[in-house]
Structure 1
Amino acid sequence: MNIITKELPQLPGGESRNTKPLFVLIDYENVLPEDLTCLNQPHMHALLFVGALQKKIPTTLAMQMQTMGHRAQYIQIETTGQNALDMCIAHYTGFVLAGSPSARFLIISKDKGYDPLIQFLSKRGVTIQRSPHLPLSETIPRHPAASETSPFKNAAQYVIETLKKQRRCLPSSRDTLTSWTTNMLSSGKLAYTAEKIIAELEKKGIITFDGKQVVYSLP
């Protein structure tokens, strides 16, 4: 089968509200999976990244991709070069995150060169892993239940505790709270955006907004 699909992945709007989408990014230059049936689940998307010199894939694999419809795509790298495919996978990860911030990722590759990217994104609250082979369906990472011991929850709790200590001098507007939170996370070396932390505080009922003004309900 000739590989001609080179479009950016389209994010479907029909995902379950209770299941965050999982994008499986397959480095086909590095790993040649024989069976993709474990990915044929409504919340899973298969992106098969193919090298510039790889012109064909097995018919069985192509048929399995076809059964997934819009959730499966081929992306062929147009040029050869060291790390060309790796850079493309990194680009697509950022592209997907821009349209679907809650997306999760599983990179299928034996190449440990992806690990710095994975570490960078993980510290910023992105669920992303690498596996040297395509796991069975029961081992594919599910959306984890919220854990009060996760790094993100710890960061949010750190901000809450700091706010409690300065009740008499709390940021009064959304802008000042955003700036304050950014400085707080930077000084504490916690790699999460202020917007994500503020959204978590809203979710917990710690803060609400009256226009641009912040209303606190600190415990």
Structure 2
Amino acid sequence: MGKPYYLIDFENVRPALDRLPPGQCHVLVFTGETTKRIDVDLAFALPRFGADIQRVAISGTGSNALDFHIAFYIGHIAAREPGASFVIVSKDTGFDPLIRHLKDKGIACRRIADIPAAAGTAPATKAPPVAKKSKAMTVVVLPEPNGAAAEPVNALADERASKIVRCLKKAKRPTKTSTLATFIGATFQPAKLDAAAIKAVIASLQKAGKVAIAGTKVTYKLG
């Protein structure tokens, strides 16, 4: 079984992410479409997870909009990664019928209202990197982790790659890796994808056979 996925309902709870062990789980932080700021504690916890953490800014508003996004990502990841397990971090009991249904389908999923201290963290061998932030704390830029070039392509990167393919079919296609990276970053503004996330999208495009890279040259087979 791979690393579990923690799906954080950021509109409902503000959990202590430093209780999770970096390198041993994936973390998806779901925020509302109008969310502009994040807690300072969360901002400084994010870099510890490197490419294993992603912010998902939901599309649209409504009382259950974020819940539906979490449900979609669970289904999407479960379809691509049989055996994946999920932990929804939320006080919203509305997730419980979904969790029962997932269990009936053989998908491991549970809900917790907060991340317990028992989750623990691995002892740090060096000081964690520092998050870069704007004066208003509206943006967090995740530093590139060591060995980022070998990071696995995750389900979120695949989802982003699908959007990039759609955009490339309608736009002038970059011919170099540097301009392709710039194109990907611009496509997901104002999300501010870090270098590791952009590399993961490019790796997903290569894996799907949509792009081929030779040195700094990029060619396309978008279909």
TM-score (norm: length of structure 1): 0.52
Matching residue of 2:6: 24
| 3-state SS, counterpart of residue 29 of structure 1 | coil
Q: What is the correspondence of 1:13-52 to structure 2 with a 5 Å cutoff?
A: 19-33=1-15, 35-52=16-33
| SS in structure 1 at match of 2:83 | coil
Tell me what 1:102 maps to: 83
Aligned residue number for residue 136 of structure 1: 117
Selected match of 1:127 from 108, 112, 131: 108
Q: Is the 8 A contact 2:3 2:26 kept in 1?
A: yes
Number of aligned pairs? 121
Q: Which has the higher contact order (CA 8 A, sep 6+)?
A: 2
CA-based RMSD of the aligned residues comes to 1.8
User: Which of residues 48, 51, 58 is equivalent to 1:67?
Assistant: 48
The equivalences for 1:190-209 within 5 A come to none
What are the residue-to-residue correspondences of 1:151-162 with 2, within 5 Å?
none
Equivalent residues of 1:21, 1:102 under 8 A apart: no
Q: Give % identity.
A: 39
**Contact 2:31/2:58 (CA < 8 Å) preserved in 1?**
yes
Q: Secondary structure at the match of 1:25?
A: strand
Task: Please tell me the residue identity of whatever aligns with 2:69.
Answer: C
CA distance in 2, matches of 1:104, 1:136: 20
In 1: Cα distance, 2:80 partner to 2:117 partner: 28
Contact 1:39 1:45 in 2 (8 A): no
Give the secondary-structure state (helix, strand or coil) at the position aligned to 1:110. coil
Query: Which amino acid in structure 2 is aligned with residue 118 of structure 1?
Result: I
- In the alignment, structure 2 segments of 5+ residues that lack a partner are 122-223
CA contact (8 A) 1:118 1:129 kept: yes
| Deviation by residue 1:28-50 (Cα, 9 ceiling, x = unmatched) | 111112x2122233230111000
**1:121-173 CA deviation, whole Å, 9 max, x = no partner?**
10111111001112224489xxxxxxxxxxxxxxxxxxxxxxxxxxxxxxxxx
Provide the rounded CA distance (Å) in 1 between the counterparts of 2:110 and 2:12: 16
Q: Please give the alpha-carbon distance, in whole angstroms, between the structure 2 residues aligned to 1:29 and 1:54.
A: 9
- Rg comparison, structure with higher value: 1
Distance change (3 Å), C-alpha of 1:76 and 1:25: same
Q: Distance in 2 between matches of 1:96 and 1:66?
A: 23
**Residue type of the partner of 2:88?**
I
Q: Equivalent of 2:60, from 63, 79, 95?
A: 79
Please show how residues 173-188 of structure 1 align to structure 2 within 5 Å.
Answer: none
Q: Distance in 2 between matches of 1:38 and 1:101?
A: 26
- Give the superposition deviation at 1:108: 0.6
Partners of 2:94 and 2:102 in 1: CA distance = 14
- TM-score, structure 2 as length reference: 0.51
Query: Which amino acid counterpart does residue 107 of structure 1 have in structure 2?
Result: I
Q: Which runs of 4+ in 1 moved over 4 A?
A: none
